[in-house]
Amino acid sequence: LNKGASLVSATLIPSSPKGNFLLGHLTEYRKNPLGFLTACARDYGDIVALRLLGSRVYLLNHPRYIEAVLSDDTNFISHKGMRLRPTQCLLGNGLLTSDGNFWRGQRRIAQPAFHHARIVAYGAVMVEYAERMLASWQDGETRDVFRDMLRLTQEIVAKTLFDADVTDDSEDIAAAFDTLQEEFNAERSLFQSLRLASPLPVNRRTREAVKQLDETIYRIIQRRRTDGCDAGDLLSMLLAARREDGSQLTERQLRDEVMTIFFAGHEATGATLAWALYLLARHPEAQSNLCAEIQEVLNGRAPRATDVPRLRYTARVVKETLRLYPPAWALGREAVRDCTIGGYRVPARTQLMMSQWVMHRDARYFDSPDEFRPERWTDQMSAQLPKYAYFPYGGRARGCIGRAFAEMEMVLILAIIAREYEFNLAPDFEPAILPSFALIPKNKIKLTLMKTGNRLVPDNDLQFQIAI
């Protein structure tokens, strides 16, 4: 293998599954993206050529190829590729979707809000909001914990980074995000995907949902302007920021950044927490291990940010959940010029696709890859794992700015829930995966919650089949 991408001419050409003359591989991809990408990797190897929406797409299935792309800002990094294009009507030109020098400037402005000391300070808010959520739960009830986790992570991101309480708006926010999910989701028709990938105006439902979310975001910004106070949070940093030419962010830029952080800062964590609760419900022995650790470390009290390093099994549960259900299930980049990866020729404008879903379930890197085994994450295993065989947060310059935030938040919330409740899958519940913006549960995660000590006996005969 060539270690990285280079400009040296190369002759290798990736193999490709047979595609439709006109549509390429779009039909199979739209029908079942996760299954299709997995089959491509299995049948065609470490680099696979596809044609989607008229674009040449190379699917990269080797950690070194992925590293080559994510670490190379000359040939690839500042072009996010077509996968994110549809989200631009919601996120505008914020941190996630912007490119080049503009992105670099925005990242510099936002970075201080994610420094270690700040993240530790956010811990208290995370705990307070999680405890408040738990106070509204009843012993023995069945809940959709995906909805609960999304609401909680929304409230936390708004409070920690914008000092805003969005509790009263949470139903409207959830409805607007639901509409956007429906509009963007992977089961849309061919016409819909062409429209979403094009710069044509978006439809009325999407516009209205974005308008609804805009109202919340502009209200948060306006309130801060009126208060005039410097809360020292991300919003204050954005309001005070000067770009290199001395200009302030425009109202639209502010909106795009706040919307991006609000969106990126709750959806992935909410989905991961819901998947973690689901996996724990399916694996009572892992749930018992988790409870034992929480009892030992916390001894009945609420967790604090400083407990997180000792909640090692809890962190492994999160890590293993991110392996099996990575919210960012594929990343995209675009080659800006002709180059090579591992000896393969990559013409300019090729879309590079790297799928966490595919890599995280690759038996070359993970024993029994489809099994949930938090204990696999020993220090030794982590040290031996090739970099980018596991990359839930992406990597290098465009890696997730909220990683430390998310890691602390997910450990604290899991610890708080598992300290008070044991949970089982609701008997009539059949989960399914929806690879949308993020990898989310399609039809809720319905769990029955029992206050610790009132545990239901798990039904080991039930076979749960995840449909993808």
Query: Among the candidate windows 53-61, 236-244, 275-283, 324-332, which touches ligand HEM by CB under 6 A?
Result: 324-332
Which of residues 32 and 97 has its CB atom nearest to ligand HEM in the complex? 97
Which of residues 68 and 96 has its CB atom nearest to ligand HEM in the complex? 96
Q: Is 270 a residue that touches ligand HEM (CB under 6 A)?
A: no
CB of 104 to ligand HEM, least distance (A): 9
When binding is defined by CB under 6 A, the residue of 51, 224, 398, 419 that contacts ligand HEM is 398
Query: Among the candidate windows 260-268, 295-303, 413-421, 425-433, which touches ligand HEM by CB under 6 A?
Result: 260-268
Q: Is 274 a residue that touches ligand HEM (CB under 6 A)?
A: no
Q: Are 123 and 408 in contact (CB under 8 A)?
A: yes
- The number of C-alpha atoms within 13 Å of 114 and in the hemisphere containing its C-beta is 18
Which of residues 80 and 419 has its CB atom nearest to ligand HEM in the complex? 80
When binding is defined by CB under 6 A, the residue of 63, 392, 435, 441 that contacts ligand HEM is 392
When binding is defined by CB under 6 A, the residue of 38, 78, 272, 448 that contacts ligand HEM is 272
Q: Is 260 a residue that touches ligand HEM (CB under 6 A)?
A: yes
Q: Residues 171 to 230: which contact ligand HEM by CB under 6 A?
A: none
Count of residues binding ligand HEM (CB under 6 A)? 25
Which of residues 422 and 445 has its CB atom nearest to ligand HEM in the complex? 445
When binding is defined by CB under 6 A, the residue of 37, 268, 352, 440 that contacts ligand HEM is 268
Q: Is 79 a residue that touches ligand HEM (CB under 6 A)?
A: no
Q: Is 62 a residue that touches ligand HEM (CB under 6 A)?
A: no
Query: Among the candidate windows 241-249, 276-284, 388-396, 442-450, which touches ligand HEM by CB under 6 A?
Result: 388-396
Taking phi over 0 as left and psi of -120 to 50 as alpha, with beta for the rest, 14 belongs to beta
When binding is defined by CB under 6 A, the residue of 30, 64, 80, 316 that contacts ligand HEM is 80
CA distances from 54 to 120, 217, 304, 351, 354 (A): 46, 36, 51, 11, 19
Q: Residues 93 to 132: which contact ligand HEM by CB under 6 A?
A: 95-96, 107
Angle between helices 403-420 and 284-298 (to 10 degrees): 100
Q: Is 406 a residue that touches ligand HEM (CB under 6 A)?
A: yes
Q: Is 393 a residue that touches ligand HEM (CB under 6 A)?
A: yes
Q: Residues 333 to 372: which contact ligand HEM by CB under 6 A?
A: none
Query: Which residues of this protein are in contact with ligand HEM, per CB under 6 A?
Result: 80, 95-96, 107, 157, 260-261, 264-265, 268-269, 272, 327-328, 331, 392-394, 398-402, 405-406
